[in-house]
């Protein structure tokens, strides 16, 4: 571990262990000595994340009443009550370039706002997605420019639906119009990307067996670090290390359970938690760690894929999601879709509350992180891309105004929101996709 003079730690301080590297969270000791005398808080960075959910929503149970100040949350959004002040619901955003409407173009257009070339072959063509536009700037100083996650095994070859290559349905992020970025669903692989030093898989496994836990090889370095920092920083380091231990134990339990399960689920990797919620929460926990240690500042997460036939008996929906989403206004099917929508939102709420409870500078990770959550379909029963279910959460420290419902009378390009979020993250471009302006109502007037 390297220290700089005048008792100040560099922001990019790492601890080195056996086949592992541990980045540190933002500490007060990382303030340059000259500003520390003035008690200037450690300056946080800005982060940007995206969560995708498939097959639209039940609008009646999603959309809040009225507009302007956010009052009572709708039934689907009720679990977001603890973070309502940092939540904005946007109604009547659309994806014009995703027509003709399909599940494939819904997924492809969500972060690109671009037309997906209709092809069954490898000559696919889309556009650079908004997360990757952000990553080109925000990722210059981080270990990983961006992190792409999913819940499902994502097949990238072949044809999946309506003559569209599978890559459109299974990749949210594209670093260029011809370069899709595969997402990772296995928590162990993500964990090693965040904290491992690379090298052959056999060497990493041997190191894991010898140390028992990632943190075992850092004990001496951690003890020396704590001698050099104040009480607040020691508490922050302890909280961070406890979070890493908890995530590591959850991964180990899932891997142990996989050895006992002789009937693997074909939709998910072997060795991940059997319960959907446990798997999702583990991947959300890994995002918190990645932000806390500034390993990356840009994340995309496909919480479920288009055309998913996943069932949710744990919430009383034993029916496959995709056929149920073709509800034809059947009240029983709509009620089941609403249950799935609410379940997905509750997992996002879990994540936002963790961000809110994690210190970052003089605020929280939620203050300095902006997330967009939503779907590329509005009414899945008719495959439209109108009135998309879209939320923006967090970002008070980035100048985002929360606690509101913005309702447009006519369809506004989703690309306007992308352009706005890039601006709030400090990435300034003239336009994005089919944007025709920014969403000024998202700005906190004090930040402009």
**What would the DSSP string read from start to end of 86-110?**
GEEEEEEEE-GGGPSP-HHHHHHHH
Cα–Cα dist 428/117, whole Å: 28
CB 317 within 8 A of CB 250: no
- C-alpha angle with apex 343: 382 to 73, nearest 5 degrees? 85
**DSSP classification of residue 387:** S
Q: Which of 99-113, 204-218, 423-437 has the lowest mean pLDDT?
A: 204-218
**DSSP classification of residue 75:** T
pLDDT of residue 218: 83
* Mean confidence (pLDDT) of the chain: 88
pLDDT of residue 47: 97
Q: Would you state the structure tokens that stand for residue 24, as one six-digit string? A: 């540190």
The architecture (CATH level 2) of 46-185+277-447 comes to 3-Layer(aba) Sandwich (3.40)
pLDDT of residue 16: 73
Cα–Cα dist 322/3, whole Å: 54
pLDDT of residue 319: 97
Cis preceding-peptide flag for 100 (omega within 30 of 0): yes
pLDDT of residue 221: 87
Dihedrals phi, psi of 23, to nearest 5 degrees = -80, 150
Cα–Cα dist 256/271, whole Å: 8
Using DSSP, how many helices (H) and how many strands (E) does the chain show? Answer: 13, 16
Please tell me whether residue 51 adopts helix, strand or coil conformation: strand
Residue 393 pLDDT greater than 90, yes or no: yes
Q: How far is CA 426 from CA 395, 421, 423, in A?
A: 12, 9, 5
Residue 275 CB contacts under 8 Å (≥ 6 apart), including other chains: 314
Cα–Cα dist 107/167, whole Å: 10
pLDDT tier at 220, thresholds 50, 70, 90: confident
H-run or E-run covering 344:
helix 331-357
Cα–Cα dist 106/102, whole Å: 6
Q: What is the mean pLDDT of residues 359-363?
A: 90
CB 53 within 8 A of CB 310: no
pLDDT of residue 12: 67
- Mutual angle of helices 276-292 and 331-357, in 10-degree steps: 30
Out of 38-42, 246-250, 343-347, give the one with best mean pLDDT: 343-347
Q: What is the DSSP string of 400-412?
A: B--SEEEEEEEEE
Residue 197 pLDDT greater than 70, yes or no: no
Alpha helices by DSSP H, 141-267? 166-170, 187-195, 201-211, 219-228, 231-260
Cα–Cα dist 164/168, whole Å: 7
Dihedrals phi, psi of 295, to nearest 5 degrees = -75, -35
pLDDT tier at 35, thresholds 50, 70, 90: very low
- Supply the pTM of this predicted model: 0.90
> Is the model more confident about 64 or about 254?
64
Residue 254 CB contacts under 8 Å (≥ 6 apart), including other chains: 187, 271, 272, 273, 274, 278, 279, 282
Sign of the CA dihedral 94, 97, 100, 101?
A: negative
Task: Kindly report, residue by residue over 370-392, the tens digit of the pLDDT.
Answer: 999 999 999 999 999 999 999 99
The single residue listed with the structure tokens 């923006």 is 392
- pLDDT above 90 as % of the chain: 67
**DSSP classification of residue 45:** P
- pLDDT above 70 as % of the chain: 86
Residue 266 pLDDT greater than 60, yes or no: no
The single residue listed with the structure tokens 């109502």 is 441
Q: What is the mean pLDDT of residues 143-156?
A: 87
CB 148 within 8 A of CB 138: no
pLDDT tier at 410, thresholds 50, 70, 90: confident
Please tell me whether residue 369 adopts helix, strand or coil conformation: strand
Residues of the chain with CATH 3.40.720.10: 46-185+277-447
> Is the model more confident about 162 or about 247?
247
pLDDT of residue 20: 74
Cα–Cα dist 170/124, whole Å: 13
Residue 433 CB contacts under 8 Å (≥ 6 apart), including other chains: 97, 112, 113, 114, 127, 413, 414, 415, 418
Please tell me whether residue 226 adopts helix, strand or coil conformation: helix
Cα–Cα dist 366/357, whole Å: 8
Q: Which of 82-96, 140-154, 283-297 has the lowest mean pLDDT?
A: 140-154
Total Cβ atoms within 10 A of residue 63: 19
Q: What is the dihedral of CA 128, 131, 137, 140, to 10 degrees?
A: -110
Q: What is the mean pLDDT of residues 147-162?
A: 79
Q: What is the mean pLDDT of residues 194-199?
A: 70
**DSSP classification of residue 312:** B
């Amino acid at each position: 571990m390297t220290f700089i003079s005048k008792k100040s730690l560099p922001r990019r301080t790492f601890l080195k262990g056996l086949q592992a590297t541990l980045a540190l969270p933002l500490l007060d000791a990382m303030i340059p000595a000259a500003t520390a005398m003035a008690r200037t808080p450690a300056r946080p960075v800005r982060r940007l994340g995206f969560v995708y959910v498939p097959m639209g929503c039940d609008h009646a149970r999603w959309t809040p009443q009225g507009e302007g100040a956010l009052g009572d949350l709708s039934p689907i959004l009720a679990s977001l009550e603890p973070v309502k002040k940092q939540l904005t619901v946007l109604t009547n955003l659309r994806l014009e370039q995703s027509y003709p409407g399909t599940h494939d173009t819904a997924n492809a257009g969500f972060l690109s706002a671009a037309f997906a070339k209709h092809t069954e072959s490898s000559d696919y063509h889309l556009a650079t997605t908004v997360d990757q536009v952000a990553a080109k700037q925000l990722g210059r100083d981080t270990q990983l420019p961006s992190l792409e996650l999913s819940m499902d095994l994502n097949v990238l070859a072949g044809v999946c639906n309506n003559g569209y290559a599978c890559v459109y349905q299974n990749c949210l992020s594209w670093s260029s119009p011809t370069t899709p970025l595969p997402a990772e669903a296995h928590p162990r692989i993500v964990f090693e990307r965040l904290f491992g030093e690379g090298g052959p898989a056999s060497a990493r496994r041997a190191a894991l067996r010898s140390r028992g836990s990632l943190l075992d090889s850092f004990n001496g370095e951690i003890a020396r670090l704590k001698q050099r920092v104040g009480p607040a920083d020691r508490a922050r380091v302890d909280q961070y290390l406890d979070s890493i231990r908890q995530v590591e134990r959850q991964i180990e339990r899932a891997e142990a359970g996989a050895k006992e399960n002789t009937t693997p689920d074909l939709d998910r990797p072997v060795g991940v938690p059997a319960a959907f919620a446990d798997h999702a929460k583990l991947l959300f926990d890994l995002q918190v760690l990645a932000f806390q240690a500034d390993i990356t500042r840009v994340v995309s997460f496909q919480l479920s894929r288009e055309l998913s036939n996943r069932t949710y008996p744990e919430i009383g929906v034993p029916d496959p999601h995709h056929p149920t989403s073709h509800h034809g206004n059947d009240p029983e099917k709509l009620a089941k879709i609403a249950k799935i929508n609410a379940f997905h939102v509750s997992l996002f709420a879990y994540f936002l509350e963790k961000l809110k409870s994690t210190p970052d500078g003089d605020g929280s990770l939620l203050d300095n992180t902006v997330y967009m959550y939503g779907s590329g379909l509005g009414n899945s029963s008719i495959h439209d891309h109108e009135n998309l279910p879209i939320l923006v959460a967090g970002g008070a420290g980035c100048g985002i105004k929360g606690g509101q419902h913005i309702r447009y009378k006519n369809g506004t390009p989703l690309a306007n929101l992308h352009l706005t979020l890039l601006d709030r993250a400090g990435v300034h471009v003239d336009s994005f996709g089919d944007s025709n302006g920014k969403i000024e109502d998202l700005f906190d007037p004090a930040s402009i």
